[in-house]
Amino acid sequence: MAMGNARTLGKLIVVTLGMFGFGFALVPFYYKICEVTGVNAGAEQALANTQIDTGRWVTLEFDANTNAALPWRFKPEVRSMKVHPGQLVQVEYEVTNTSDQPIIGQAVPSYGPARAAGFFRKIECFCFTPQTLAAGESRRMPVLFVLDPAMDDDVHTVTLSYTFFDAGTQARTTRAGNGAPHG
């Protein structure tokens, strides 16, 4: 009986080592499949394809506003910077809820000149989702983007402006009126 157990244990060890070796060999195969199909390329692929135009500079100006109904302070950490089109840029904005209650805000971007809007490639932005700030809470929020090098050569200055609006007012109004239309 002991001889049968030894053979079974030997077979089990061989199978286990074979499975481990097979799994280990699949890793480079997996990476090659992903490379060929473009799976898992994500932002790295988008950034690798970006061409930086080192032959010209664009001045970026940053602006921050809040709607009068929103008791928040909102400002960019940097007011302006010079960048090469195609360069990966990260800036931060700081926002503070100056009220004594939590508020939901939504930032809406605008661009000057307006034709520059189509050349901003945002990778990360607080404007993608509503922001909830507790009473008195401050937060630093990043914007990560690339200015497309295909932007017209005669554009030398671009302003990125955000305006925060109270996104919770509509929800509170709807709940208070039970969502029933008036009229």
Contact 123, 143 (CB under 8 A): no
Sheet of 88-97, strand order = 72-76, 88-97, 138-147, 120-125
Residues in the chain: 183
Going by the DSSP 8-state scheme, the letter that residue 52 receives in this structure is: P
The amino acid occupying position 73 is R
Vertex 71: Cα angle to 67 and 75 (nearest 5): 70
Per-residue pLDDT of the chain (183 residues; tens, 9 = 90+): 566 677 887 787 876 766 655 555 555 655 565 565 555 554 454 445 458 999 999 999 999 999 999 999 999 999 999 999 999 999 999 999 999 999 999 999 999 999 999 999 999 999 999 999 999 999 999 999 999 999 999 999 999 999 999 998 644 444 444 444 333
Three-state DSSP at 133 gives: strand
Contact 101, 164 (CB under 8 A): no
pTM: 0.66
